[in-house]
């Protein structure tokens, strides 16, 4: 069985590698290390922007694509039914949930404002807010959403979970119009699908109470950027964004200069912190061993989730 991975580091991090596996490194650029026609298990480079149908056409023997990203939106449409697509659920959980809570705290306590003042050598204390007692609406009740809930509870906040469908302890997306008016903070941690693209529009934002915060740790196109800009420009809402639409955010975009907006350049996931390759390839190794043994794979992507 031929397996392609994008990093040499993965060889050791994936061990033990099943017998009969021919492991080659292909980082997505330049010449193929060998014929792609008999590649059966492929780990593409992290955050590949889109599937090349021409490249997949060269891989008729492909059975599994194992991503190193938590999101699979760039891959859904291009992968045929004969290929099992798996995401990296679990790999980015700690880093992304830490970013979300850090963004809430930084915005609430005014750290972004103080950082700007520091560059101007301006000592200007102002009253700020706290996470304690806040009602945090977490839209996306998967692995990362659950980790965010645990972390905000540790600060004395009250998480409320939302998913596509209701289940014990989790509200349905259809309930958002009733939930949003009571939310102090709304965290987005949903995959980008046709159902979530543009979900946070002018109507969604208008339902949030004055002074509430939108935290986007999902994908930029989940939010209508123009609608968000209007709400935060007027000072009614604040926002903490790790992702934007478009991305990168253009240098002349007004969001950059608004004091109630905190922006980081898509660094919320594990790829921006130490240990990403070890965690990612530990997952790849587990998946490869399951596949070689004829067992079902974890993290199989269905309907974009």
Positions marked catalytic: 219, 247, 266
What are 141's two structure tokens?
């009740």
Q: Which residue has the tokens 């193929």?
A: 32
Phi, psi angles (nearest 5°) of residue 91: -65, -40
Closest C-alpha to 218, from 238, 199, 237? 199
């Amino acid at each position: 069985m031929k397996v392609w991975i994008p990093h040499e580091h993965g060889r050791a991090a994936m061990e033990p590698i099943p017998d009969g596996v021919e492991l080659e490194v292909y980082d997505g650029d330049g010449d193929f290390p060998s014929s792609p026609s008999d590649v059966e298990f492929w780990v593409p480079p992290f955050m590949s922007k889109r599937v090349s149908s021409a490249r997949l056409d060269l891989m008729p023997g492909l059975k599994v694509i194992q991503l190193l990203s938590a999101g699979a939106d760039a891959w859904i449409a291009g992968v045929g039914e004969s290929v099992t697509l798996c995401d990296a659920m679990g790999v980015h959980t700690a880093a992304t949930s830490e970013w979300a809570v850090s963004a809430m705290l930084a915005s609430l306590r005014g750290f972004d404002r103080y950082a700007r003042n520091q560059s101007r050598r301006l000592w200007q204390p102002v009253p700020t807010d706290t996470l304690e007692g806040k009602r945090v609406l977490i839209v996306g009740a998967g692995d990362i959403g659950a980790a965010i809930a645990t972390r905000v509870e540790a600060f004395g906040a009250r998480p409320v979970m939302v998913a596509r469908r209701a289940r014990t302890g989790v509200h349905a997306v259809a309930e958002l119009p009733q939930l949003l008016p009571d939310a102090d903070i709304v965290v987005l941690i949903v995959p980008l699908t046709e159902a979530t693209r543009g979900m946070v529009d002018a109507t969604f934002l208008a339902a949030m109470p004055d002074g509430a915060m939108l935290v986007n740790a999902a994908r930029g196109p989940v939010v209508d950027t123009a609608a968000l800009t209007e709400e935060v420009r007027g000072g009614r809402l604040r926002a903490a964004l790790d992702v934007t639409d478009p991305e990168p955010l253009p240098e002349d975009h007004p969001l950059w200069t608004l004091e109630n907006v905190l922006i980081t350049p898509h660094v919320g996931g594990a790829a921006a912190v130490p240990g990403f390759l070890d965690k990612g390839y530990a997952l790849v190794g587990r998946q490869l061993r399951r596949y070689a043994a004829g067992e079902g794979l974890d993290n199989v992507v269905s309907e974009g989730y």
